[in-house]
Amino acid sequence: YEVQDNIAQGMSKLGPAITLDAIVQTLVFGVGTLSGWKQLETISYFACLSVLANYLALMTFYPACLALMLELCHGVIHEQPVSKLQFIMNKDGDEEQKSNPVIQVVKIIMEGISALSNKEIIELVKKKHIAGYQLEKVLGDFERGIDVRRGLIDENLTDKSVMEKLPFKNYDYSAVYGACCENVIGYIPVPVGVVGPLFMNSKDYYVPMATTEGCLVASTNRGCTALKKSGGVRSFLLSDGMTRGPVVRFPTAEECIFAKLTSLQANLAGRYLFIRFVATTGDAMGMNMLSKGVENALRVLKEKFPNMEIMSVSGNYCTDKKCAAINWVNGRGKSVVAEAVIPGKVVREVLKINVSALVDLNIAKNLVGSAMAGAQGGFNAHSANIVTAVYIATGQDPAENVSSSNCITLMETTGDNNSDLYISCTMPSLELGTVGGGTRLQPQAACLKMLGVEGPNKTPGKNAETFAQIVCSTVLAGELSLMSALAAGHLVKSHMQHNR
């Protein structure tokens, strides 16, 4: 504050003289206003006003400009380039002091808003001068924008160490901004394990799984080993069709029946008509794609049936991210089956159990037990574990796990003397894709590339089809291993040993 103090002292000494001079000049010119000559009076009035204006500028604007220029010159003298304004950017913790608005404006004019300190930018966000969700765009720096937002949140946290434990540096946010997440404050590192080789349809696959559940990867890997020793898995796509089910309303139930479309799956409840559109979507999961198409279709229907009221593009008849019998019965997304025959010797040596015990347990647990629980699509041991782990690793929407984990696991004795095991997993509603959404993020794209299904295929839908088969086959490996552990009584022991 030395500069400001010196100016203040100077003004205190010169101020009276400047004031007296202004008064004298005003009085002298004021005499002219009494001359009676109109032209002289006009000139005198303007002269008085100019003296007053000059006085106000000298006493207010001039000292402020002088203080600013001296601060800038001070920076140059100490070899701190004005272009960087580092003499203004405080290095000694003075950010706690209230920022000077004039200095802020100069910084913004000379270098843009990025020249401000994080503390100053936070103040601008608080005052609504900058939208908090646009920090990355305003600053032109993803990482710094996130750092500022973290500082803003950190001020409201009682435990200041929280943000220190949430990483945010060294991440490619360009693929996130405007596509995957808003108001970003960091990312969650999740351990990624790999199982394999999974020998499916005469080809080896190494399947990435992101999980924090101990034993899951190890158990699924054991299933892969058993399948490899048994000749592998055969997997087939049964059907492919993403759905969207809007709801519309008619004045009466009679009109609702009349308008029912025979080419689409439709059901009515009173005067509400629920229409289930089904379409293939290539290598994309396809929800956004289908939503756009359905909106256009509804507009056409509205022209044909003017009394129809379009209530929502989604009427929960799709059904998306909710447990629903319609997905279990009719399918949604990719409907896939995977099957394998495991020789009795492999069951005994690798899985440490016998075939008959596995078949009995599968009937009691996955079929009868699930039926007793009123399960809907849950006729399996833990398909959700594998589906979620693979989905997180490959950039899928983890919430789609609700329907995507629909699975029925069947086991039968087969072969000579019924000494071998036949196992199959049927999954009617795998909602996944290899383009769009989180698949554009580099780590997730790398996991898809590991599977050989990254991005779009020259044959539309082929990558997503193969990916669905891989997921279903991996679920089969997980089912085989967990059921064996349960039948042999190894589950609790392994979790106590590896998942403390």
What string of DSSP letters covers 398-461? GGGHHHHT-EEEEEEEESGGG-EEEEEEEEEEE---SBSGGGGSHHHHHHHHHHT--S--SSTT
- Pick the range with the lowest mean pLDDT from 7-16, 79-88, 168-177, 417-426: 79-88
Whether residue 123 is found in the same domain as residue 161: yes
Q: What is the token pair recorded at 283?
A: 């290598």
The pLDDT tens digits of the residues spanning 37-63 come to: 888 888 888 988 999 998 888 888 888
| Mean pLDDT of the 290-307 span | 91
pLDDT on residue 159: 83
- Measured distance CA(169)–CA(132) in Å, rounded: 19
User: Which H helix or E strand runs over 12?
Assistant: helix 2-32
3-state secondary structure of 206: strand
**Residue 177: inside a domain:** no
**Residue 186: inside a domain:** no
**Residue 344: inside a domain:** yes
- For residue 273, the one-letter residue type is L
Whether residue 254 is found in the same domain as residue 203: no
Whether residue 301 is found in the same domain as residue 156: no
pLDDT on residue 157: 85
Known catalytic membership, residue 141: no
| Mean pLDDT of the 283-304 span | 91
**Residue 85: inside a domain:** no
Q: Please check the confidence at residue 303 and state whether its pLDDT lies above 60.
A: yes
Whether residue 304 is found in the same domain as residue 445: no
The pLDDT tens digits of the residues spanning 442-464 come to: 999 999 999 999 999 999 999 99
Which one from 119, 137, 302, 321 is the annotated catalytic residue? 321
Whether residue 372 is found in the same domain as residue 223: yes
Whether residue 355 is found in the same domain as residue 476: yes
The CATH number linked to 123 is 1.10.3270
Whether residue 278 is found in the same domain as residue 383: no
| Mean pLDDT of the 274-284 span | 92
Whether residue 334 is found in the same domain as residue 348: yes
| Mean pLDDT of the 315-334 span | 94
Local confidence band at 109 (pLDDT 50, 70, 90 cut-offs): low
| Mean pLDDT of the 295-299 span | 92
- Pick the range with the lowest mean pLDDT from 63-67, 154-158, 351-355: 63-67
Q: Please check the confidence at residue 196 and state whether its pLDDT lies above 90.
A: yes
- Measured distance CA(354)–CA(359) in Å, rounded: 9
The CA-atom distances, in angstroms, between 2 and each of 14, 70, 74 are 18, 11, 11
Which one from 137, 229, 462, 495 is the annotated catalytic residue? 495
- Measured distance CA(409)–CA(472) in Å, rounded: 11
* Residue 119 neighbours by CB under 8 Å, 6+ apart: 95, 96, 99, 151
- Pick the range with the lowest mean pLDDT from 103-112, 161-170, 308-317: 103-112
Which one from 41, 213, 339, 412 is the annotated catalytic residue? 213
The CATH number linked to 367 is 3.90.770.10
Using a pLDDT cut of 70, give the percent of the chain over it.
87
- Measured distance CA(393)–CA(387) in Å, rounded: 10
pLDDT on residue 41: 86
Q: Which residue has the higher pLDDT, 467 or 24?
A: 467
- Measured distance CA(343)–CA(475) in Å, rounded: 19
Whether residue 216 is found in the same domain as residue 328: yes
**Residue 337: inside a domain:** yes
Whether residue 338 is found in the same domain as residue 450: yes
**Residue 148: inside a domain:** yes
Which one from 136, 397, 420, 465 is the annotated catalytic residue? 397
Cis amide leading into 388 (omega within 30): no
Using a pLDDT cut of 90, give the percent of the chain over it.
62
The CA-atom distances, in angstroms, between 326 and each of 201, 250, 376 are 30, 24, 10
Residue keyed to tokens 């913004």: 108
The pLDDT tens digits of the residues spanning 233-258 come to: 999 999 999 998 998 888 888 777 66
**Residue 217: inside a domain:** yes
Phi-psi map region of 40: left, alpha, beta (phi>0 left; psi -120 to 50 alpha):
alpha
Residue keyed to tokens 């590192």: 189
Known catalytic membership, residue 339: no
The pLDDT tens digits of the residues spanning 164-184 come to: 889 999 999 999 998 899 999
Q: How many CB atoms lie within 10 A of CB 325?
A: 10
Whether residue 423 is found in the same domain as residue 494: yes
Q: Which residue has the higher pLDDT, 33 or 487?
A: 487
The pLDDT tens digits of the residues spanning 360-377 come to: 999 999 999 999 999 999
**Residue 457: inside a domain:** yes
Query: How many structural domains comprise the chain?
Result: 4
Whether residue 21 is found in the same domain as residue 55: yes
Known catalytic membership, residue 78: no
Known catalytic membership, residue 213: yes
- Pick the range with the lowest mean pLDDT from 72-86, 175-189, 196-210, 252-266: 72-86
Q: Please check the confidence at residue 497 and state whether its pLDDT lies above 70.
A: no
| Mean pLDDT of the 113-139 span | 89
Contact by Cβ (8 Å): 11, 59:
yes
* Domain interval for residue 300: 242-312
pLDDT on residue 107: 60
| Mean pLDDT of the 301-328 span | 93
Local confidence band at 261 (pLDDT 50, 70, 90 cut-offs): very low
The pLDDT tens digits of the residues spanning 23-39 come to: 988 888 888 888 788 88
